[in-house]
Structure 1
Amino acid sequence: MEVGVQESLFDGSDTAEPILMTLYAEYYDLIWPGLKRHEFRRRFLAGQSTQWWVYLNAPVSRLRAVIDLGPAVVGTPERIAGIAEQTRVGNGASVLEYVQDLEQAYAIPILRVREYEGLSADDLRDRFGSWHPPQGYLRLRDPGNLDMLRICEKLLAEEPIREMTVHHP
């Protein structure tokens, strides 16, 4: 099955929905050599580009990167697993196991990645008094999350440690 993802003109501007989501470092590390070109989720925003501030779970425990995401491909678990399999042979089975109980799941194309020194969990606790990484995702423009959005936006003022554009066949 050939899945086409149109190259986006998304440039990380204000048209993208800013979100904060967690990710395990082992999956984040797959992006750089091109082994991960989509983020797979059980629930997500449909029909829009997003700008994802990435908090890497323990043991890294750090707000570390900003990833520009294209609009999600929404489909059956089998279709979403097929997208995973195309990028990395054998990955389709684990993605299918993750989403098989759903009517629809999400494959979100990764378009651009910028990595920063970022902020540790301790830094975030110092700024907020307490810090708990989100389950799922946080929409940073929601009124209760505006302080976090301001902190996240400060990352963009820094020079990235590394960055890349992800190409989709």
Structure 2
Amino acid sequence: MTSVGEVLISIYPEYAAAIFRGEKTVELRRRIPGLKSGTKMWIYATRPVGAILGYAFVGDVSKGPPNIMWEIFGDRAAVGREKFDSYFSEADVAVCITLTGISEGRPLSADGFKTVRSGFHPPQLFTRLSEKESNFLSQNVFPQDLSMTI
């Protein structure tokens, strides 16, 4: 595991797909996650997909008033202004996580991940991974490292 660690983050399937198509390079959050530049984020697509699909690295974490964050990051978030405004309607701060080194692998179901983390439930924000869990994901989502990097 690297010094900044690895995490697993839950993302709606349509946004996970947009990340792996290269259309979404900024992840939006209402809460400020404790993520540092260089953190490897494994991407779990929520149901109905229910699988870990690949990863991206955190490039930067920016925060500010939603209207300013829209001006800076809106074109990279894969959402329209109306949906952005709705998502941040009750928030004073918008958090924008820039994604780099995006790689899509072979989907690993939540049940498959339970073999290394029993009782696994997809996180609301994110969950930190142990070295054993990170290695398991690397071996099972990227067998023989046949990844497709964007």
* TM-score of the two chains, using structure 2 as the length reference: 0.80
Q: What's the CA shift for 1:86?
A: 2.7
Does residue 127 of structure 2 align to residue 159 of structure 1? no
Does residue 66 of structure 2 align to residue 80 of structure 1? no
Does residue 80 of structure 2 align to residue 91 of structure 1? yes
Off by >6 Å, runs of 4+ in structure 1: none
- Match of residue 148 from structure 1: 133
- Match of residue 69 from structure 1: 58
Q: What's the CA shift for 1:105?
A: 1.8
Identity of aligned residues (%): 23
State the alpha-carbon separation in 2 of the partners of residues 125 and 107 from structure 1. Answer: 30
Compared with structure 1, are the counterparts of its residues 137 and 61 closer, same or farther at alpha carbon in structure 2 (3 Å cutoff)? Answer: same
Tell me which moved more, 22-31 or 82-91: 82-91
State the alpha-carbon separation in 2 of the partners of residues 137 and 88 from structure 1. Answer: 19
Does residue 116 of structure 2 align to residue 131 of structure 1? no
Q: What's the CA shift for 1:157?
A: 6.0
State the alpha-carbon separation in 2 of the partners of residues 48 and 17 from structure 1. Answer: 10
Question: Equivalent residue of 2:90, what SS?
Answer: coil
State the alpha-carbon separation in 2 of the partners of residues 97 and 118 from structure 1. Answer: 31
Residues 81-108 of structure 1 show CA distances to partners (whole Å, capped at 9, x for unaligned) of 2234333786233122212322222111
User: Does the CA-based 8 Å contact 2:40-2:55 persist in structure 1?
Assistant: yes
Q: What's the CA shift for 1:134?
A: 0.8
Q: Which runs of 5+ in 1 are unaligned?
A: 1-12, 165-169
Q: Which runs of 5+ in 2 are unaligned?
A: none
Over the residues paired in the alignment, what is the CA RMSD in angstroms? Answer: 2.6
Q: What's the CA shift for 1:47?
A: 5.4
